[in-house]
């Protein structure tokens, strides 16, 4: 990992430290849990562990390329050490139950089928999943899309409407498999209420 890469990765951690005034062991545990679940930390625990290791080995941790933080360098170094230690203690890291994928993966959904509908806004669904919708262009229209993978390995996507007044999102299944099973797996992996999702049939 190059200096430029680890600094960019580290900045994601530094950004969150502003929300943790104490930088306690409990704060470190919360961040480690989010890394393992790919929650906010989309690159996964291995990437952040490597970045922390390189950061702690650097003579200058907080420089001009670092995001602003309310903490001084010594406290940040100590906190990164806590995160690293807790990440190591929790190996092997389990596969996440839900993780966002790059929006470019939408290009692989050419043969995907719509399997279910959720009558929620993209904002509400994004808040529930703790994920952010991206956009894809279809002609002159930009549509909200969220491409993700669940713990069973299935790659799925939600596609919303260009009209913000439309509170309905469609679930697409990219790979072969029983749509009903896929919907059930999605609900199980994310904790989504099955009563809130409408099957679109085979």
Preceding omega of 113 cis (within 30 degrees of 0):
no
Task: In whole angstroms, give the CA distance from residue 62 to residue 122.
Answer: 36
User: How far is it between the farthest Cα atoms of the chain?
Assistant: 59
- Mean pLDDT computed over 1-17: 80
pLDDT digits (tens, 9 = 90+) for 90-104: 999 988 888 889 999
Question: Given this model, what pLDDT does residue 58 score?
Answer: 84
Q: Give the global pTM.
A: 0.71
Position 38 confidence tier, pLDDT thresholds 50, 70, 90: confident
Task: In whole angstroms, give the CA distance from residue 171 to residue 183.
Answer: 9
pLDDT digits (tens, 9 = 90+) for 179-189: 999 999 999 99
pLDDT digits (tens, 9 = 90+) for 130-140: 888 999 988 88
Question: Given this model, what pLDDT does residue 22 score?
Answer: 95
> Do the Cβ atoms of 113 and 172 come closer than 8 Å?
yes
Closest CA to 144 of 165, 127, 158, 129: 158
> Do the Cβ atoms of 61 and 52 come closer than 8 Å?
no
> Do the Cβ atoms of 138 and 125 come closer than 8 Å?
no
Q: Indicate whether 63 pLDDT > 70.
A: no
């Amino acid at each position: 990992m190059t200096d430029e890469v680890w600094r960019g990765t580290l900045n994601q951690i530094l950004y969150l430290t502003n929300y943790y005034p104490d930088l306690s062991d409990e704060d470190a545990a919360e961040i480690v849990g989010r890394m393992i679940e790919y929650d906010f930390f989309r690159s996964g625990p291995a990437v952040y562990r490597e970045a922390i290791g390189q950061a702690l080995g650097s003579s200058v941790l907080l420089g001009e390329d670092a995001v602003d933080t309310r903490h001084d360098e010594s406290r940040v170094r100590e906190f990164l050490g806590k995160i690293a230690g807790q990440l190591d203690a929790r190996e092997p890291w389990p596969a996440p139950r839900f993780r966002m994928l790059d929006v470019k993966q939408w290009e692989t959904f050419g043969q995907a089928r719509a399997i279910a509908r959720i009558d929620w806004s993209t904002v509400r669904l994004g808040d529930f999943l703790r994920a952010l919708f991206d956009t894809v262009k279809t002609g002159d229209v930009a549509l909200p899309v969220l491409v993700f993978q669940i713990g069973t390995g299935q790659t799925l996507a939600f596609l919303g409407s260009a009209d913000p007044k439309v509170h309905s999102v469609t679930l697409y299944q990219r790979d072969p498999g029983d749509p009903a099973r896929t919907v059930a797996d999605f609900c199980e992996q994310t904790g989504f209420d099955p009563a809130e999702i409408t099957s679109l049939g085979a």
